[in-house]
Amino acid sequence: MLAKLLIAAILTGLISGFFITFYDLLITFVTYFIFMGDPFKTIPTLPAWYIYLVPTVSIFFVNYLTSKDKTIREYGVNEIAESITQNKMTITLKTLFLKVIASTLSLSSGFLAGTEGPSAGIGAMIAYQVHRLFRLPEMLIKMMISVGASSGIAAIFVSPVTGMAFAVENIAYQFIKQYIGYLILASMIAFAVSINFLEPIYFQHSVGRKFQNSYIFANLLFIPFITAFVYLYLILKKRVLHFIDWEIFKNFNRWRNHIFALIGGGTIGTILLIKPQAAFSGKMIVTTLINQEHHLSLTLIFSVIMLRIVGTTISIYANAVGGLFLPLMSIGALIGYAFGEIIATYYMQIEPFYFAAIGASVFMGVLMKLPLTAVVLAMETTFDYNVVVATGVSVILVSYFSNLYFDIRKKYITRADKLSQTTSLP
Domain locations in the chain as residue ranges: 2-194, 214-415
- What's the confidence (pLDDT) of residue 38? 92
| CA atoms within 13 Å, Cβ hemisphere of 148 | 32
> Which is nearest to 151 in space by CA: 326, 25, 325, 16?
16
Q: Give Cα separations from 409 to 88, 230, 240, 310, 364 (angstroms).
A: 25, 14, 18, 20, 13
Neighbour-count burial for 320-343, b at 16+ CB within 10 Å, e otherwise: bbbbbbbbbbbbbbbbbbbbbbbb
| Degrees, nearest 5: CA angle 273-274-277 | 90
Q: Report the sign of the C-alpha dihedral through residues 17, 155, 268, 291, in that order.
A: negative
Q: Could you tell me where the beta strands, DSSP code E, fall in 75-194?
A: none
The CATH number of 214-415, from 1.10.8.60, 3.30.70.20, 1.10.3080.10, 1.10.3720.10, is: 1.10.3080.10
Q: Are 75 and 323 in contact (CB under 8 A)?
A: yes
pLDDT of the residue at 382: 86
Q: Do domains 2-194 and 214-415 have the same CATH topology?
A: yes
What are the Cα distances from residue 232, in Å, to 89, 115, 132, 238?
A: 38, 24, 47, 10
Per-residue pLDDT of the chain (426 residues; tens, 9 = 90+): 678 888 998 999 999 999 999 999 999 999 999 999 999 899 999 999 999 999 999 999 999 998 888 777 766 566 666 666 666 667 788 888 888 999 999 999 999 888 888 888 888 889 888 988 888 888 788 778 888 888 988 898 888 888 778 777 766 555 555 666 777 788 888 988 998 888 887 777 777 677 777 778 888 899 999 999 999 988 887 777 766 666 666 666 677 778 888 888 999 999 999 888 888 888 888 887 877 655 678 888 888 889 898 888 888 888 888 888 889 999 999 999 999 888 888 777 778 888 999 999 999 999 988 888 899 988 888 888 888 889 999 999 999 999 888 777 655 433 333 433 433 333
114 forms bridges with which residues in the sheet? 323
Q: What is the dihedral of CA 356, 361, 362, 363, to 10 degrees?
A: 80
* 137 residue type, one letter: P
- 319 to 9, 92, 268, 293: CA distances (angstroms): 34, 20, 13, 37
Q: What is the CA radius of gyration of the chain?
A: 21
Task: Report pLDDT for 397.
Answer: 92
What is the predicted pLDDT for the residue at 84? 64
**Ranges of H-type helices in 137-282:** 141-157, 160-167, 176-194, 214-234, 242-243, 256-274
Separation of CA 264 from chain center: 19
How far, in Å, CA of 277 to CA of 313, rounded? 17
Check residue 419 and give its pLDDT.
36
Q: Are 283 and 309 in contact (CB under 8 A)?
A: no
Kindly report the three-state secondary structure assignment for every residue of 115-129: CHHHHHHHHHHHHHH
The fold of 2-194 is Clc chloride channel (1.10.3080)
Helix-, strand-, coil-residue percentages of the chain, each rounded to 5 = 80, 0, 20
